[in-house]
Structure 1
Amino acid sequence: MSSSSWSTRDVRVRELMDEPDCDPELLARTYQRFTTVNRLVSGWRRIYRTRIRPRLAPDRPSTLLDIGFGGGDIPRALAAWAVRDGLQLHVTAIDPDERALAFARSRPAPGVRFERASSADIVARGDRFDVVTSNHLLHHLGDDELRGVLDDSTAVCDGIAIHNDLSRNRLGYMLYAVAALPIAGDSFVRVDGLRSIRRSYRAPELQRAVPPGWRVSRMFPQRVLATFEAGSP
């Protein structure tokens, strides 16, 4: 990509795993490798320690909704960290893709319930959660879909919502292109990761796109967080 190409999101590119007729074996291997990729780049352990764990308690159950779980590794990790810390956390993880649901349910985890649903479905049934999360979801969405997911997150959130995503950057693109080589194997991890970076928001862009009440911040390395706290002005 030329230097001028980095000034705007490249929404023309589409991740291969989002295609309904993509190779199911490559998709399954992509889901499998998400654990390694997210452990290296997503920063969820830090987010859990600083933003989620302080809201949990050993004698009071808390609830968490993860939207668009993909391979399911993030909700599994959040539930496992809470158990390790002696805290009560019940996780509901949703994704509208039946392929993601089949993969996630083949790897059940204590404290996590995987469902095929959208955020709008959760709003419709009136469920509420102390924490709402997503990982690498926002850059997949069109403008109306983004607003819809964030409005839904606000509607079901009794505590904090945290949407964690990539931030578009030439250096990050180049580093990932190299770092993903030994991880990707026969999967979509490298190609889709690079396309995701090209589609992703920079912090000022995302701040302009989010509804009132949402705050966008940067997180190292080359991450962007959209957060909402219930009851905040």
Structure 2
Amino acid sequence: MLRAVTAVEEMDRPDCDPVLLRRTYAQFPLVNTLVSGWGGLYRQLIRPRLPTQGPAGILDIGCGGGDITLALARWARRDGFDIHVTGIDPDDRAQRFAAGARLRHGAPDVEFRRATSSDLVAAGERFDVVVSNHVLHHLGEAELDGLLADSAALARSLAVHADIRRSRAALLLFGAATLPLAGTSFIRRDGLTSIRRSYLPEELRAVVPPAWQVIERRPFRNLLLHRVEPLA
């Protein structure tokens, strides 16, 4: 199955149905809890890289509806970190939804901005850990290069970009699991498109700089890691 590089997800269209878009953002927490595995990534990769003395900062690039941003803040807060988590997205629709979610969850240590990673690089900002979820498959070659360069500039310690790994099994299983959501949002339709657009591990290794490590993670996941500096 070849990568569908020209396919477009409905929620990326500026004229998509706003009701279905809001429902899509609202359903992200359920879908990401089931398929994205960020709880394990936080425990295994992110938590060991956060400073135990003084403030700790995490940046979530392309945060969408903000559910992972909020979860990272919640987990770090629970573990006693003096945490501040920033979620950025260039889409003002995502930023507005995420800002509302922040208010509903009462998360003063979370901030959502309409911005790109290059905006933050230009402003000289830095974070201990930089993450993204399901962003890589949206990007063209130049955009991917820019994201990785920005991530290396923004991260003091670690950058983690997590994405789907393309496979026919993933298509079949996701299609079956999300059938009850069909027509209620863009989750099923765009999720299937995302799988078709996503990278195989060998394809990702062929286009990223040597400093970045590609790791296959079950089920149907790719991780792209950049460890900026070793732990003390």
TM-score (normalizing by structure 1):
0.94
Deviation of 1:57 after TM superposition, in Å, equals 4.6
Unpaired segments ≥5 residues, structure 2: none
Please tell me the residue identity of whatever aligns with 1:94.
I
Please say if residues 166 and 200 of structure 1, whose CA atoms lie closer than 8 Å, have aligned partners that are also in contact.
yes
Using the TM superposition, give the Cα deviation of residue 13 of structure 1 relative to its aligned residue in structure 2, in angstroms: 1.2
Q: Is the 8 A contact 2:49 2:158 kept in 1?
A: no
Gaps of 5+ in 1: 1-5
The match for 2:177 among 175, 179, 185 is 179
Aligned-pair CA distance for 1:184: 4.6
The answer (yes or no) to whether the contact 2:163–2:222 under 8 Å persists in 1 is: yes
1:111-143 CA-to-partner distances (Å, cap 9, x unmatched) read 110000001101000001110000000001111
Q: Does 1:81 align with 2:81?
A: no
Q: 1:195 aligns with which of 183, 193, 196?
A: 193
Deviation digits for residues 39-77 of structure 1 (CA, Å, limit 9, x no counterpart): 000010000000011123554211111100011000100
Which of 3, 8, 11 is residue 9 of structure 1 equivalent to?
A: 3
For 1:57 and 1:210, locate their aligned partners in 2 and report how far apart those are by CA, in whole Å.
28
Q: Which amino acid aligns with 1:25?
A: V
Runs (4+) of structure 1 exceeding 6 A deviation are none
Structure 1 Cα separation of the partners of residues 108 and 188 of structure 2: 30
Alpha-carbon contact 2:157-2:227 (below 8 Å) kept: yes
Aligned-pair Cα RMSD in Å: 1.2
Once the two structures are superposed, residues 148-196 of structure 1 have per-residue CA deviations (whole angstroms, 9 ceiling, x without a partner) of 1111001111100000000001001100000011245510000000000
Q: In structure 2, what is the equivalent of residue 53 of structure 1?
A: 47
Aligned length: 226
CA distance in 1, matches of 2:54, 2:218: 32
For the 8 Å contact 2:50–2:129, the answer to whether it is kept is no
- Give the alignment's TM-score, normalised by structure 2: 0.94
